[in-house]
Chains A and B, each alone.
Chain A
Amino acid sequence: MPRYYTEEHEWIDVDGDVATVGITDFAQSQLGDIVFVEVPDTGAELSAGGDAAVVESVKAASDVYAPVDGTVTDGNGQLEEDPALVNSDPEGEGWFFRMTLSDKSQLDGLMNADAYKAFIADL
């Protein structure tokens, strides 16, 4: 299952026509202690680069953007109870939402793991 990354520090796992989206380990380490996550409602129409979710650390609120166009099929309800999952397992249990892919060609514009690693090394 290929994983892609955005310059805004989201990751996206693609499985057929459905993708799972979260924020990267680098992102959670920059944010610090996560105290609240707002995931999108099922059925929400997202467009690439648009607001999709909000993650709140002790200090600040940050927007999470949709990496591609699509429709939300599922938000991670566990984050409501345990937002710190984003700190402890950002690229696993701490996923934010699942979505359908309207246009798979949009994935071509994203980074793979090696490219993302090089990208954050330059920050």
Chain B
Amino acid sequence: MSETEQAGEEAVGTETLPLDAWHRAKGGRMVEFAGYWMPIQYEGIMAEHLWTRENAGLFDVSHMGQLALSGEGAAQALEALVPGDISALKPGRMRYSLLLNEEGGILDDLMVTNEGDQLGIVVNGAVKWEDIGHLREYLPDDITLNHRDDHGLLALQGPKAVDALARLVPEAAGLVFMQYTRAAWNGHAIGISRSGYTGEDGFEISLPNEALAAFADALCAMDEVKPIGLGARDSLRLEAGLPLYGHDLDEEIDPVEGDLGFAISKRRREEGGFPGAARILGHLEGGAPRKRVGLLVDGKLPVREGAKLFDGNTEIGVVTSGGFAPSVGAPIAMGYVPRDHAVPGTAIAAEVRGKRVHCTVAAMPFVPHRYVRKQGG
């Protein structure tokens, strides 16, 4: 028996994260991911996934790059590289955006936060060094870019996340989805946003490295919180219809093809002035030739990344993420198909080990988002 697919790559020069010993002590099974040893699971992906949907799961996402831009005109400067309306972002608000190349292809997806005195940016761990290089190259010299590698990032996700976190940091309960605040915990300056990548209500908490273990312990001491590994993080985000960079998005794919048109702000659509604007605005206007879609898979056979998609005998696209969806109770996938096949309900087939598996194009998310957008709402 041997694994034909692995979460990690070859473990050469793999680095450890600040919570490495903490994960191992909790029984985390460590794999190489994005250049770091990370826990793929503790008690099991299925149990961890379902726990997060019903309670609160604690994820260590310290492999992600935490950056800060400061200097006069930082928002306008960043707008030259992303299609979001960063200038309109009020203090304490955040937004999802995309780092684009000259052709409009996606170099990374990221979160931008107006922290008041600076712009906080969180980028994917696997491409953070490329992102930093790109930002340093293209931003004006009077904009300062800091890599906050003395900070780790934890995500607390699930319907009980707010109760758990508010016991440690009462300010958390006052935030709504995509809001940010600075706070203090045990004398440490921390940053909290009500955001995440599971489709559930939840938070991301940025802390100094030296505070991470004590904070994680304080959360996991609560009945509703368990540590959750990368495996469940992947199945949760897949069910939430959220793309994973390097799999569902890459440099060849533009935001419209990636079904991320919402990330191109209204003012930017009118004014342009972002990389690849001609291609992207053209696709917004007339439709992209291909589109990222969700796929419901017939039967039980998982359809995974790399599976070819067919309409009859014609190859029409490829699966970019897929697997068993614990909350759906069936396999699901996402992938790219031509525009005329992107309508929900379209019947196509995926090829797995020479066999055809029937799939239906489906609207995403597969599991409804449960973000808290209004206080008391």
Q: Which residues of A are interface residues toward B (Cβ below 8 A)?
A: 8-10, 23, 27, 32-33, 35-36, 38, 54-65, 80, 83
Contacts and interface: CB of A to CB of B under 8 A. Distances in A.
Main secondary structure of the interface of A (DSSP, over half): strand
B3 interface: yes
Given A32-B44, A33-B46, A35-B324, A59 B231 contact: yes
A38 B299 CA distance: 13
B39 to A, nearest CB: 13
Nearest to A10: B1
B301 A62 contact: no
B7 interface: yes
B4 A62 contact: yes
Given A32-B45, A61-B4, A80-B300, 4 more contacts: A36-B301, A59-B40, A61-B304, A64-B1
Interface of B: 1-7, 40-41, 44-46, 49, 231, 234-235, 300-302, 304, 323-324, 326, 331, 353
Contact of B6 (A8, A36, A60): A60
Contacts, number: 69
B302 A61 contact: yes
Contacts of A33: 44-46, 324
B147 to A, nearest CB: 31
26 contacts: A9-B1, A10-B1, A23-B1, A27-B1, A32-B45, A32-B46, A32-B231, A33-B45, A36-B300, A36-B324, A36-B331, A56-B302, A57-B45, A58-B326, A59-B45, A59-B231, A59-B234, A59-B323, A60-B4, A60-B5, A60-B6, A60-B7, A61-B3, A61-B4, A62-B1, A63-B2
Contacts of A23: 1
A83 B302 CA distance: 13
Contact of A58 (B1, B2, B235, B301): B235
A10 B300 CA distance: 23
A38 to B, nearest CB: 7
A38 B302 CA distance: 11
A38 B301 contact: yes
A9 B301 CA distance: 23
B6 to A, nearest CB: 7
Contacts of A27: 1
Nearest to B232: A58
B231 A58 contact: yes
Given A58-B231, A59-B7, A59-B231, A35 B300 contact: yes
